[in-house]
Structure 1
């Protein structure tokens, strides 16, 4: 015969069932949590590059390549066409003003100078001959003028005589007219001689002036060639370092050809090149940052070449610290031309994470995890990226390349 179960027993049994259900649920939940943790991607802390969001300046810049060159460099050219006879100093040697660098053969130029001097002697002789010839011609005309003057006076006297004879009835009107005609012809001839003498004097002055000009030109040519001959021993005009010299003894050099360079290595400037696509962004006075072995030197763009050569634009920049110890001639360097500057903005160090867009996801470090978050960026340069939104000062982000975790919303950082 069945007995009724007491209420106390039924209540105990219900508690036991509930306890079993709760335990099962806890067990399932723990298992799911552990399984989820096993599926969550993880990354080693040692392999991460982290950066802290901070407040500072961000200068937007375009990157150029540069080379350090002396601020002042004297280019020495050959004053004459000649051959190199002797090289007294090698490249790298320090030179003082007036110190001879190399010597040119002066024989050919000396012969040319002697020829010019001989021609000048001939010109002087021509000048003497011309003066004698011109003076002889002028003297002859003067003599003819004196004779003609006497002839005019004689004809004037003859006319007076004929007029007197006509007056007393001993002469004829025809004789008077003939005497007048002879006098008029003589006077015209005397006037012609006077004009000829004046023209001859002007011609003499012009001829002498022309020969004088020729002699002056010749004198200048002689002085110029003599000066070039004295400069055949090539010397420095300023103190500095001989950066290059033509050491090919016996080689021919033309007049105006560069044969040596002397530079003042106490100060430097930068010659930069940039792609012509950025030519419109380059302006005189733009700030530049020159990076040398971790040292940043600032300066300004002083000159921009107007021509594009092989797709690049050349510019020159003056440095604020033109005598910095890190500067070396012909040292290649990175040059950053600042186009815009933002002061006291949120920024983070540039790194592999930055893809150059205005908005992109990044991983933010939170409580041992790297959580994916969308962040808006602004201007950037080689060092920093401007943060416009999505991050707060003091937060850390992952700088490392995380392309392999594109689909992950969260990463576990293993320490």
Structure 2
């Protein structure tokens, strides 16, 4: 007799299907709960940089590299071309005003000097000879004038005598007229002689003056030539230290060629190049600072170069004492202030700003177990701090390290990894 087999309600297949369905429902509920709240991520605190928000002094400044330079530099160029004959000082030597540096030789210039001296000597000889000739001529004319004056006096004596005798009817009219004519002739002769002597004197003075002026011009040219010869000895125009001396014995230097520079010993300055972004924020008198051996030294902007190529170039001078061990060409780190010192809420700089743009930050809870995403607003900055305008208070703890991989999270669980 056959036995009836009852069909089972909970078969293994049904049980597996039911378990899968339950798992699916749990997953969906968990997903809905996750999407409804902020995304969380467990992070080891040792991988983060947690900084404290503080209130303290804040100043906006830009760090730049500056090069130490003398406060004034005189460039030394060859005023005349020539061959280097002697180098009288060494590079880096301290020089006194007028101290010779390099001796050049120029045979063409020396030959021209000899020719000009000869020309001046010849002109002076000609002037001397001309003066002697003119003086001799004047003496002859004065002798002639003296003779004419004597003849005039004799003619006048005879005329006066004959005039008396003629009135007394002692001599004839012919003798009287002859004496009168001779007297009139001698007077006219003296008048013409004096006029000729006067004109000769004027001509002589003009000729001598012209020759004297020619000699003066030649002597001035000769003095200039001597100065050109003196320029073959290159001298220090002022007290200073010779640097970048570029000369070798036997080397030919052309006129105007740079042979070195003279650094004045009156002080030092710092020259720095800033990014063009700061061109509108730089002005004369702006304050800066360098630190040497742990001690700060104040600087002040004295000159802003108008030509902008790879940046804005400025010269800064020391407002107070100068570091004693500072040397020309040394590179120093300059903190150039862009604002006056103030007191502000500040947060240390870090990599977080690259992902957040300064709009939010992870703020650590009071118990240190979590970090929440918090909206903030940042203001000015310097290489050390950001100025906090909104969202944080002094004493808050924030994550300032990079947010790479965390930027989509809303909350960080700060849990150390088990050992």
Residue in 2 aligned with 1:310?
Answer: 309
User: In the alignment, is the contact (CA less than 8 A) between 1:276 and 1:313 conserved in 2?
Assistant: yes
Residue in 2 aligned with 1:362?
Answer: 361
Residue in 2 aligned with 1:16?
Answer: none
Alignment of 1:286-305 (within 5 A): 286-290=286-290, 297-305=297-305
SS at match of 2:341: strand
SS at match of 1:193: helix
SS at match of 1:322: coil
Structure 2 runs not aligned, ≥5 long? 1-28
Q: TM-score, normalised by structure 2?
A: 0.68
User: In the alignment, is the contact (CA less than 8 A) between 1:67 and 1:333 conserved in 2?
Assistant: yes
User: In the alignment, is the contact (CA less than 8 A) between 1:286 and 1:301 conserved in 2?
Assistant: yes
Relative to structure 1, is the Cα distance of residues 167 and 311 closer, same or farther in structure 2, using a 3 angstrom cutoff?
Answer: farther
Q: Does 1:213 align with 2:216?
A: yes
**Over aligned residue pairs, what C-alpha RMSD do you find?**
4.7
Count residues in correspondence: 380
- Rounded to whole Å, the distance in 2 between the matches of 1:144 and 1:353 is 117
Residue in 2 aligned with 1:3?
Answer: none
Q: 2:196 aligns with which of 168, 193, 210?
A: 193
Please give the per-residue CA displacement for 1:373-415, whole angstroms capped at 9, x wherever unaligned. Answer: 3333333333333333332223233333436544444333344
Q: Name the structure where strand makes up a greater proportion of residues.
A: 1
Please give the per-residue CA displacement for 1:291-317, whole angstroms capped at 9, x wherever unaligned. Answer: 789986431122333x41536443311
Please give the per-residue CA displacement for 1:65-94, whole angstroms capped at 9, x wherever unaligned. Answer: 532224465544435311234667775x65
Residue in 2 aligned with 1:411?
Answer: 412
SS at match of 1:329: coil
Q: 2:227 aligns with which of 209, 219, 224?
A: 224
Alignment of 1:337-348 (within 5 A): 337-348=336-347
SS at match of 2:339: strand
SS at match of 1:364: strand
- Rounded to whole Å, the distance in 1 between the matches of 2:165 and 2:344 is 129
Residue in 1 aligned with 2:3?
Answer: none
Alignment of 1:52-131 (within 5 A): 52-61=52-61, 65-71=65-71, 73=73, 75-78=75-78, 80-85=80-85, 104-105=104-105, 107=107, 109-131=109-131
Please give the per-residue CA displacement for 1:130-188, whole angstroms capped at 9, x wherever unaligned. Answer: 43244345445544544554565566557757866886686599999978975774465
1:283 is displaced (CA, Å) by: 2.5
1:47 is displaced (CA, Å) by: 3.5
- Rounded to whole Å, the distance in 2 between the matches of 1:412 and 1:207 is 108
Alignment of 1:2-401 (within 5 A): 39-61=39-61, 65-71=65-71, 73=73, 75-78=75-78, 80-85=80-85, 104-105=104-105, 107=107, 109-143=109-143, 145-147=145-147, 149-150=149-150, 153=153, 171=173, 182=185, 185-186=188-189, 188-200=191-203, 202-204=205-207, 206-207=209-210, 209-218=212-221, 220-221=223-224, 223-225=226-228, 227-229=230-232, 231=233, 240=241, 243-261=243-261, 263=263, 268-274=268-274, 278-290=278-290, 297-305=297-305, 307-308=306-307, 310=309, 312-319=311-318, 320-325=320-325, 327-354=326-353, 360-367=359-366, 368=368, 369-401=370-402
User: In the alignment, is the contact (CA less than 8 A) between 1:58 and 1:343 conserved in 2?
Assistant: yes
Comparing 75-84 with 178-187, which one deviates more in the overlay?
A: 178-187
Relative to structure 1, is the Cα distance of residues 161 and 400 closer, same or farther in structure 2, using a 3 angstrom cutoff?
Answer: farther
Structure 1 runs not aligned, ≥5 long? 1-28
Please give the per-residue CA displacement for 1:182-231, whole angstroms capped at 9, x wherever unaligned. Answer: 577446524523532452354255235414423541452354245335x3
